[in-house]
């Protein structure tokens, strides 16, 4: 792309830099795009899919931003949508257990890993040539469209079956792939206790062992039942605030460091701070992951009442999902998607931190004007709130979820084709 310093961005149609500010000379593009942004955010969250597959193509086709600028704007928009989802989800309860809907233990170690990947992906995106980014983006959007379409077909079949046959509760599943264990029908993980745990329990008289287990189990359940576990909120806030502070200290091509004389762009201090950011995130994630594994082991030894879908963390599963989440973060930072194309409570929590840090990297690199980032963040935030509270109710009441998902799949497929064609023409 062209070098467009300051608030000047590239107009992809005319292949030139323009001095562009929100609702100024380009208001005929900005206002319709803002309305579509708002609608898309609401529809995406109601369909249960992420908005990342929509925002990047819209930025290219409607706002005439370059691919890299659209990626950064998409991250700011995803931040708004995921923040709204997090606010709503933080008040919700788990449908099968007396605890919050969000799994904060999972978020505490996966969020830093995904943030680290997103920051690395954003840096890679700035280095790669635009044509390569477009090719990767087209492939990912195509796969996203196919997955969304398959999800729409599956939801349609479920809706049709629910209208034909009475609903029933499916039995819980057990999945030991990559060391992940889901709870069994009686709420106990299979094969989790080791011989040492059993021997320790047998050393006590039966009544004492049962009594101690009951006390520990009750303590764990009471601790997990809290709607707002403040210590976990504080940990997430600390890791996020630390990253934002380090990024502001590091600065970028478009925004100088808060101490520019000490941290010049691309100097040794710049890269040292970049390394510190990555190291801090990875170390924090590893510590929280180890804590999650130990907590799962402790719960398993006292017959904690796990419910269907709960993950029993082991070291193999912790390592696998840490690497998978790191890779998802790279794709999120590289392509402007959310790192999770399906919207769930815990995923939305991860994406709050991932998208906010990645968006800041793009803004500080001078690829996205601040005013556009703030306005479209707000549109996605409000659109998600409306979609989750109003549109979602209407869609589910009338059984339109499958139709909505299929519509979004078609939009993403069309956008993928248009982005590819526009890239080839240019």
List average pLDDT for each run of 10 residues in the chain, which is 426 residues long: 50 63 83 88 66 76 81 87 85 84 87 88 81 80 80 80 57 43 47 42 49 80 88 90 86 72 79 88 91 88 81 87 87 70 66 85 81 91 83 71 75 73 60
Torsion angles phi and psi, residue 83, rounded to 5: -65, -40
Q: How far apart are CA 216 and CA 201, in angstroms?
A: 13
Does 300 fall in a domain?
yes
Q: Do the Cβ atoms of 311 and 110 come closer than 8 Å?
A: no
**Sign of CA pseudo-dihedral 8, 6, 129, 77:** negative
Q: Give residue 374's pLDDT.
A: 92
Residue 330 in tokens: 């790279």
What residues contact 224, with CB distance under 8 A and at least 6 apart? 99
Query: For the chain, how many structural domains are there in total?
Result: 1
Q: Do the Cβ atoms of 33 and 58 come closer than 8 Å?
A: yes
Does 12 fall in a domain?
no
Q: Give residue 47's pLDDT.
A: 60
Does 216 fall in a domain?
no
pTM given for the model: 0.75
Q: Give residue 163's pLDDT.
A: 67
| Residue 408: closest CA among 97, 7, 45, 32 | 45
Does 353 fall in a domain?
yes
**CA end-to-end span of the chain:** 11
Q: Give residue 381's pLDDT.
A: 92
Question: Given 3-state DSSP classes, what are the helix, strand and coil percentages for the chain, each rounded to the nearest 5?
Answer: 70, 5, 25
CA distances from 267 to 263, 272, 273 (A): 7, 9, 10
Q: Give residue 15's pLDDT.
A: 59
Q: Give residue 284's pLDDT.
A: 92
Instruction: For residue 298, count other CB atoms closer than 10 A to its CB.
Output: 14
Does 41 fall in a domain?
yes
| Residue 123: closest CA among 71, 183, 83 | 71
Residue 43 CA, chain-centre distance (Å), reads 17
Half-sphere exposure of 200 (CA within 13 A, CB side): 10
Q: Give residue 257's pLDDT.
A: 75
Residue 172 CA, chain-centre distance (Å), reads 26
Q: How far apart are CA 21 and CA 47, in angstroms?
A: 33
What residues contact 407, with CB distance under 8 A and at least 6 apart? 43
Which residues in 161-218 belong to E strands, given as ranges? 181-182
Q: Give residue 172's pLDDT.
A: 39
Does 15 fall in a domain?
no
Q: How far apart are CA 426 and CA 413, in angstroms?
A: 20
Residue 208 CA, chain-centre distance (Å), reads 45
Q: Give residue 377's pLDDT.
A: 93
Residue 338 in tokens: 């959310």
Tell me 342's DSSP state: B
Does 217 fall in a domain?
no
Q: Which domain holds residue 297?
A: 24-163+226-425
Residue 136 in tokens: 């990767």
Does 202 fall in a domain?
no
Between helices 230-250 and 268-301, what is the axis angle to 10°? 170
Q: Give residue 114's pLDDT.
A: 87
6: left (phi over 0), alpha (psi -120 to 50) or beta: left
Q: Give residue 165's pLDDT.
A: 58
Q: Give residue 94's pLDDT.
A: 83
């Amino acid at each position: 792309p062209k070098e467009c310093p300051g608030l000047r961005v590239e107009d992809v149609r005319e292949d030139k830099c323009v001095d562009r500010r929100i609702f100024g000379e380009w208001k005929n593009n900005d206002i319709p795009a803002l309305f579509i942004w708002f609608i898309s955010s609401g529809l995406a969250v109601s369909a249960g899919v992420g908005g990342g597959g929509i925002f990047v193509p819209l930025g290219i086709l409607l706002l005439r931003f370059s691919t890299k600028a659209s990626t950064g704007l998409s991250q700011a928009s995803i931040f708004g949508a995921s923040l709204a989802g997090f606010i709503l989800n933080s008040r919700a309860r788990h449908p099968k257990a007396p605890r919050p809907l969000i799994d904060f233990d999972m978020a505490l170690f996966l969020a830093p890993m995904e943030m680290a990947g997103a920051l690395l992906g954003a840096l890679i995106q700035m280095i790669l040539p635009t044509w390569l980014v477009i090719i990767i983006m087209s492939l990912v959007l195509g796969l996203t469209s196919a997955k969304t379409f398959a999800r729409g077909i599956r939801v349609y079949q479920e809706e049709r079956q629910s209208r034909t046959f009475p609903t029933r509760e499916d039995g819980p599943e057990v999945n030991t792939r990559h060391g992940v264990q889901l709870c069994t029908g009686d709420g106990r993980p299979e094969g989790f206790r080791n011989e040492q745990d059993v021997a320790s329990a047998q050393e006590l008289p039966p009544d004492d062992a049962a009594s101690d287990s009951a006390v520990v189990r009750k303590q764990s359940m009471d601790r997990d039942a809290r709607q707002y576990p403040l210590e976990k909120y504080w940990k997430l806030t600390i890791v996020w605030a630390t990253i934002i502070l380090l990024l502001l200290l590091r600065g970028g091509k478009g925004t100088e460091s808060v101490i520019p004389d000490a941290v010049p762009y691309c100097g040794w201090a710049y890269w040292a701070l970049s390394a510190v950011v990555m190291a801090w995130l990875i170390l924090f994630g590893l510590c929280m992951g180890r804590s999650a594994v130990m907590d799962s082991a402790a719960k398993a030894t006292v017959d904690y009442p796990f419910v269907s879908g709960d993950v029993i963390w082991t070291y193999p599963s912790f390592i696998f999902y840490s690497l998978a989440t790191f890779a998802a973060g790279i794709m999120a930072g590289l392509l402007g998607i959310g790192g999770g194309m399906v919207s769930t409570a815990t995923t939305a929590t991860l994406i709050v931190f991932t998208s906010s840090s990645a968006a800041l990297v793009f803004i500080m690199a001078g690829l996205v004007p601040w005013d556009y980032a703030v306005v479209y963040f707000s549109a996605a935030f409000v659109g998600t709130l409306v979609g989750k509270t109003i549109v979602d109710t209407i869609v589910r009441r009338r059984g339109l979820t499958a139709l909505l998902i299929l519509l979004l799949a078609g939009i993403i497929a069309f956008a993928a084709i248009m982005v590819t064609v526009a890239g080839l023409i240019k």
